[in-house]
Homo-oligomer: A and B are copies of this chain.
Amino acid sequence: MRWCRFDTGGSPRYGLVEGDIIREVAGDPFDGYDITGSVHNLEAVHLLVPVEPRTFYCVGLNYAKHIREAADRNGTVPNLPTQPDVGYRANNALIGHGADIVIPQDAKKVHYEGEVVAVIGKTTRKVSEAEALDHVLGFTIGNDVSERLWQKSDRTLWRAKNSDTFKPMGPWIDTEARLEDMYTTVRVNGEQTIRFKTDEMIFGVARFISVMSQYMTLWPGDVIWMGTDGTSPDLKPGDVVEIDITGIGTLKNQLVAEA
C-alpha cells in the first residue's frame, strides 16, 4: 500500500496510490479509514508531506562513510557514535514532493542528505528490537537539507537544518518496502551523485525504536529520519535533487533562491 496526503483545494486528504491514480479515503492510515468513491489523477494533485509528526526524530550520524568524510572535510578525527542517541528536526521546515527548497539569501554551502524515514504506525513504549518493526506503518524518503557553514558556526542546528523548506519528505509512505532490499540513489540534475545500501546503518531502525521506546512514547505519525551516507556537492539555485529508494519511489525537489 502507498499512502499519500494531498490537497485538492480543500483540507488535506489521505489517499492510496495505485499506479497513476489516487483513491481518496475518509480518515487516515493511523486512526482508520474508509475508501471513498473519489479517484484523482496522481499527476493532477498537489502532494503534501505524507504526515505532520507530533515529534520529528532524526538520527543524524548513522553511516560510517558519511561521518569519516565529514571529519576529513573539517580536519577532525571521525567520531563514530557508540550508542543510538536520536536527535530532532522541526516541523516548520517540512515540504512535500515537488515543492521548492528555498535557499536563504545568506546561505552559502547547501547540501542534500538522502535518508530513509520510518513512519510510526501505533503507540510504542518499551518494545523489544524483535517487536519494533511491527510498530512501523511504512517508509518514506527525506532530504535533510543542510547549510554546512551554519552547521559549524551555530551552537545548535536550528537554521543549518531547519530553515523553512529544508526538510522535503515524501512522495508517500510505502507499507511494503523492505529495508533489506533498499538502495538509496541520489541524482542532481539527472546525474547520479551517490548510491548506497540503505540498511548499512551503524544502528538499524529496530534498534533505534527499541532503545528510544525505553524512555519515551512513540506516537502514530511520528517519523524517524535514519541518516545518510557519503557527501553532497555544493548545490545552487536551479539544481534539481532526486532521492530514489528501492521499493518506495522518488522524492524530487528543486532549489530556488530566496526572492
Q: Report A's interface with B, CB cutoff 8 A.
A: 52, 54-55, 60-61, 81, 83, 85-88, 90-93, 104, 125, 154-156, 158-159, 162-164, 212, 214-219, 222
Given contacts A54-B52, A55-B92, A92-B54, are A164 and B85 in contact (CB under 8 A)?
Answer: no
Check B158 against A92 for contact (C-beta < 8 Å): no
Of the candidates B83, B125, B222, which one forms a contact with A154 in the assembled complex, judged by CB atoms under 8 Å apart? B83
In angstroms, Cα B212 to Cα A61, docked, is 25
A-B contact sample (6 more), CB < 8 A, given A164-B215, A164-B216:
A55-B92, A83-B154, A92-B216, A104-B214, A158-B215, A158-B216
- Copies of this chain, how many? 2
Check A215 against B104 for contact (C-beta < 8 Å): yes
Interface of A, secondary structure class, is: loop
Q: How far is the CB of A71 from chain B (nearest CB, A)?
A: 15
Given contacts A52-B54, A90-B55, A218-B92, are A212 and B158 in contact (CB under 8 A)?
Answer: yes
Q: How far is the CB of A76 from chain B (nearest CB, A)?
A: 15
In angstroms, Cα B154 to Cα A81, docked, is 9
Chain B residues within 8 Å of A54, by CB? 52, 91-92
Of the candidates B87, B92, B212, which one forms a contact with A219 in the assembled complex, judged by CB atoms under 8 Å apart? B92
Q: In this complex, what residue of B is CB-closest to A89?
A: B88
Given contacts A52-B54, A54-B52, are A90 and B155 in contact (CB under 8 A)?
Answer: no
22 CB-based A-B contacts, threshold 8 Å: A54-B92, A55-B91, A55-B92, A60-B156, A81-B155, A83-B155, A85-B156, A86-B156, A87-B158, A88-B158, A92-B216, A92-B217, A93-B216, A104-B214, A125-B164, A159-B215, A159-B216, A162-B215, A162-B216, A163-B215, A164-B216, A164-B217
